[in-house]
Amino acid sequence: MPARTDRLSADVYHALAAASAAAKEGLGDPVLVELVMLRASQINRCAFCVDMHLTLARKNGVSERSLDLLQVWEETDGVFTAPERAALALTEAVTVLTDGFVPDEVYERAAAHFDAPALAHLLALITVINSWNRIMVSRRTPPGELVWQ
Amino acid sequence: MTTTETRTYAPEHTPRLPLAQLAPEFYRAMVRLEAAAAKGLDPVVYELVKIRASQINHCAFCLDMHTKDALASGESVERIVQLSAWEESEHFYTEKELAALALTEAITVLTDGFVPDEVYERAAAHFDEAELAQLIAVITTINAWNRIGVSTRMVPGHYTPGMYKN
């Protein structure tokens, strides 16, 4: 399956890459970063992104059990930490805006686990991965294609 | 006897978090992304896309901003009002605008399943490759702003056109 188009302006790519780097650095926890990146990519059905973030998650030490159960994290016990669960709930709410806003309880739950700068960067990260998901799905970038690094 | 009725509106909410201040480097990159994405895209299409995505994502602040920007740049009230039902008011828009709106919906709502070939091909028939890439980038970028606006609950009503331009 070839990509639909190879066109992606270098300025767009570099700006989004800079936004990505800033969000990741501000959050600081590579395991949490990959869980958020992967969960959003699952929801948005981005094959390229799921493939890439599975690879990066493994590279950053995310356990196979976490990866297996990420899609059903709400029904798991003892697999994800409380901050991870709060971040995953926030990821889902911010990724699916069509169902209506970001509920106070979801936001407050995240705010209870992350201080304001960390929460800001978590929201930034969710925003960034949603952007990559949209670019890669629209271009139909095949999984494994090296458009990154 | 007076016919004047005093209306009391609901109180204005406050934003949840000043994201631009707390994540300044991220925010600066977003501003760069916005400028890079907008380059080369028809400005009329640009505003229609901004408004339609913001409607789908329920971003109140973004709707305030982009309807005001559209009006300020000469867009008609009728075309803005009809946008939320554009499939039933096609004669308000050009074929190129309609193709862009269809692509906007497909890329904004990914949870319903990918971006259909017919939607992509329709857009590709009206936009050359370079402009299509910019259109995708603009749709992506407004989706990002929508997420920032909704998650931090940015307050609508105070935008004036041009206030973010240098």
- Across the interface, do B113 and A45 touch by the CB < 8 Å criterion? yes
DSSP state of B118: H
Note down the domain range covering A109. 30-139
- Across the interface, do B150 and A15 touch by the CB < 8 Å criterion? no
Separation between Cα atoms, residue B17 and residue B154, nearest integer Å: 9
**CATH code for the domain of A35:** 1.20.1290.10
- Across the interface, do B130 and A130 touch by the CB < 8 Å criterion? no
* pLDDT tens per residue across span A40-79: 999 999 999 999 999 999 999 999 999 999 999 999 999 9
What are the backbone angles phi and psi of residue B83, rounded to the nearest 5°? -60, -35
- Tally the domains of chain A: 1
- pLDDT of B91 > 90? The answer is yes
Intra-chain end-to-end CA distance of chain B, in Å = 50
Would B77 be classed as within a structural domain? yes
Complex-level ipTM beyond the 0.90 threshold: yes
Taking each helix axis from N to C end, the angle separating B43-56 and B60-72, rounded to the nearest 10 degrees, works out to 160
Q: Return the structure tokens found at B135.
A: 């259109």
Separation between Cα atoms, residue A42 and residue A49, nearest integer Å: 8
Per-residue pLDDT of chain A (149 residues; tens, 9 = 90+): 778 877 889 999 999 999 999 999 999 999 999 999 999 999 999 999 999 999 999 999 999 999 999 999 999 999 999 999 999 999 999 999 998 799 999 999 999 999 999 999 999 999 999 999 999 999 999 898 655 43
Best B26, B132, B143 member to test A by mutation, with max A CBs in 10 Å, is B26
- Across the interface, do A123 and B148 touch by the CB < 8 Å criterion? yes
Kindly give, in sequence order, each residue whose CB lies less than 8 Å from that of residue A30, ignoring residues fewer than 6 positions away: A24, A60, A61
Task: List, as ranges, residues 106-145 from A with C-beta within 8 Å of B.
Answer: 107, 116-117, 119-121, 123-124, 126-128, 130-131, 133-135, 137-140
User: Residue A46: which of A34, A55, A36, A38 has the closest Cα?
Assistant: A38
- Across the interface, do B16 and A101 touch by the CB < 8 Å criterion? no
Note down the domain range covering B109. 41-151
Contact A117, A26 (CB under 8 A): yes
**CATH code for the domain of B144:** 1.20.1290.10
Task: List, as ranges, residues 14-33 from A with C-beta within 8 Å of B.
Answer: 14-16, 18-19, 22-23, 25-26
